Every structure is written in structure tokens, then in C-alpha cells.
Amino acid sequence: MKKLINKPADFARETIEGILAAHGDELKVLDGSWHRVVRADAKQAGKVAIATGGGSGHLPLFLGYVGKGLADGVTVGNVFASPSAEDMYEVDKAIHAGAGVLHLFGNYGGDVMNFGMAKDLCEMDGIEVTEVLGTDDVASAPKGEEAKRRGVAGLLFAYKTAGAAAEQMMPLQEVTRIAQKTCDNTRTMGIALTPCIVPEAGKATFSIGDAEMEIGMGIHGEPGIERTDLKPMDEVVDVMLGKIFSDMDFGRKVAVLVNGLGATPLEELYIAYRRIYEVLGKKGISIHRRYIGEYAGSLEMAGMSISLLNLDDELTKLMDAPCCSPFFEQTH
């Protein structure tokens, strides 16, 4: 294992300490615990609070989307491990501003269980909590079983729309509806070229040949749906888009996310976008917004994912709203 770290056991904590040292004007911890991170600005009374969370190792997911017009707090676990229900509960209480809390996170067993327990604790305190799970990964369950799918990079879209809805002082049920509508209209497909190494494990999460790629690989190294010889980028994009389009009918306008998993050069992501732009153009689908870069990583895994959000007028306005966090800013 070659990593620029100190002790493997300190990796997640020291990451958060570095982020807080750099962005202490925007983020702060609760009770001295690096597992509990919230916005540093004052709460707005009557605004719906949005809480997210998950394991470390995915920057800028999940922590990176805490900020104005996005989420209000995040619970951070160790690498690829769910944070505790107690930490989630403390974040919920801290960000609650009188209008309830939306739990918005990816569909992973430990997170589902712990956020569910935190929800129960909040409701015992009289805090209303709703829940929306990201389930955008088309490779992780067949069509018709969307509720079993993993949440991956497409969560960005839900943070964006739900965060805008909350910023506009919509009530909890409306913010929840917007988040669910966004997740229902988002599809993601990924590929991996190399594994990553969890610092405390000290070895690769899986093995793959030098001339191979895995279609549908998860962001923790979960098996995909097919392992093939490495193909030219245009062919790779065509396969990924084919899986997405076979899963859902898209209208005339979308948002596109081309996401690098940690070790894919930006140049390669733009080569992918070039092909996406060409394919969507031939289908008569306009790209209203495009995001190209690292938005949901998997340590040093080489690979990428493509996410499409089917846009209507309501979601378009919310995607266009300004937002700001240390890792993600949109001014217009």
C-alpha cells in the first residue's frame, strides 16, 4: 500500500480535521466529535433541515454537500462504514430549526438502519423526520426493483433540488416530495478500471486485469454486471448510456453528471462528455446543466460514472438555484 497518510486508523479523522482547518468559516463540528459536522452559519428559524451521512472515502460525497442551498449537517463514518445512530441523532437535533428534518442518503444497509434509529429518537423528542434514499445505480438491481438499488453520484441532484426547496422555505412534506421526485428521475451507471485500497485493510478491495474493465462496479468495490476487455471511450459511453436509457424514458431536457471515482484524469472525463453530448443531441435531448469532475469518489479507484436527471420545469428551477459549500458552488 502506497498512500500519503499517517497512521491508517487516523485517516478519516485527520481528513475531517484538515477540511475543518481549511473551511472553518463554513463548517464546524459538534461536541468536538469529527463524526458530526454541520454548517457554521446560524440556523434560519422555520427552515427545513437536511441531514445526510455515510462512510468516509467518497469525497466530496457526503460531507462536500453541506452548505447554503444544500444539506445542513452530515454524520461521517470511518472508511466505507456507516456512522452511528447516536451521532446522526445529535446532528439532527443540532440542525433542526423548527420545521422538521429530512434524512437524505444512499441506500446502504448500515446507513438505513442507523438513520432509522436516529429518526425514532428524534420523534421521541417531538422532531418530525422524513426519509429519502438515493437509489440511482441501475446496475445494482433490475428494473422494477428500484428500491433495492444503491445510491451513488446521482445523490448530488437530490442535494441540489431539495436544498433549494428548503432554502425557499418550503414545508417538510414538499422538500421531501422534491427529493423523492429527483431520486425517482435520476439514473446512474458506472465502470471501474482499478480497485481502491481501504487504509486500515492495506490491500486492494478486488482484483482486475490490466486490460479489463468492470461495468456496473459499486463505489465500495461491489461487483458489477459484466467484466470485459477495456474498450475505447466512445464504446464505453455507449454501453453506459444504453443501460441508462433502457431503464427509463427521458424527456427533452436533462442534467448530466460525469463523475470521476478518484484516479481518472479530468481529460478523460471530458472525452466521455464529448460522446454523451453527441449521443444526447442525436436523441433530441438538450443538456440544461452539466457537471464534470469528481463529485462522488472511491478513494483512488480509476473509473467513472454517468448520471442523468430527467428535468421538468419544477426541477429545472431548483437545479438553477444558487448554492455554496466548500466543495460545490453554483452562482447562476
Per-residue pLDDT of the chain (332 residues; tens, 9 = 90+): 899 999 999 999 999 999 999 999 999 999 999 999 999 999 999 999 999 999 999 999 999 999 999 999 999 999 999 999 999 999 999 999 999 999 999 999 999 999 999 999 999 999 999 999 999 999 999 999 999 999 999 999 999 999 999 999 999 999 999 999 999 999 999 999 999 999 999 999 899 999 999 999 989 988 899 999 999 999 999 999 999 999 999 999 999 999 999 999 999 999 999 999 999 999 999 999 999 999 999 999 999 999 999 999 999 999 999 999 999 999 98
- How distant, in Å, are the alpha carbons of 37, 175, 245 from that of 276? 36, 31, 12
Catalytic residue among 23, 35, 58, 103: 58
Q: ω into residue 322 within 30 of 0, thus cis?
A: no
Q: Which of 263, 136, 249, 265 is nearest to 189 (CA)?
A: 136
Between 266-282 and 233-247, two packed helices, what is the crossing angle to 10 degrees? 50
* Amino acid of residue 91: V
Catalytic residue among 35, 96, 103, 220: 220
Q: What is the per-residue pLDDT for 221? A: 86
Is 58 part of the annotated catalytic residue set?
A: yes
Q: Which pLDDT does position 332 carry in this prediction? A: 84
Cβ atoms within 10 A of the Cβ of 200, count?
15
Tell me if residue 288 is catalytic: no
What is the rounded distance in angstroms from the CA atom of residue 145 to the CA atom of residue 236? 25
- Bond preceding residue 62 cis, omega within 30 of 0: yes
Task: Reduce the DSSP state of residue 85 to 3 states and report it.
Answer: helix
Residue 268, CA distances (Å) to 65, 97, 236, 238 in order: 24, 43, 12, 15
Q: Which amino acid is at 140?
A: S
pLDDT value, residue 260: 98
Considering the entire predicted model, what is its pTM?
Answer: 0.97
Task: Give, in order, the Cα–Cα distances in Å from 19 to each of 13, 14, 53, 182, 321.
Answer: 10, 9, 16, 29, 25
Question: Measured in Å, how far apart are the chain's first and last C-alpha atoms?
Answer: 42
Per the listing, cell 486508523 goes with: 9
Quote the strand ranges of 107-158, DSSP E. Answer: 129-134
**What pLDDT, on a 0 to 100 scale, did the predictor assign at position 1?**
84
Cell numbers standing for residue 236: 464505453
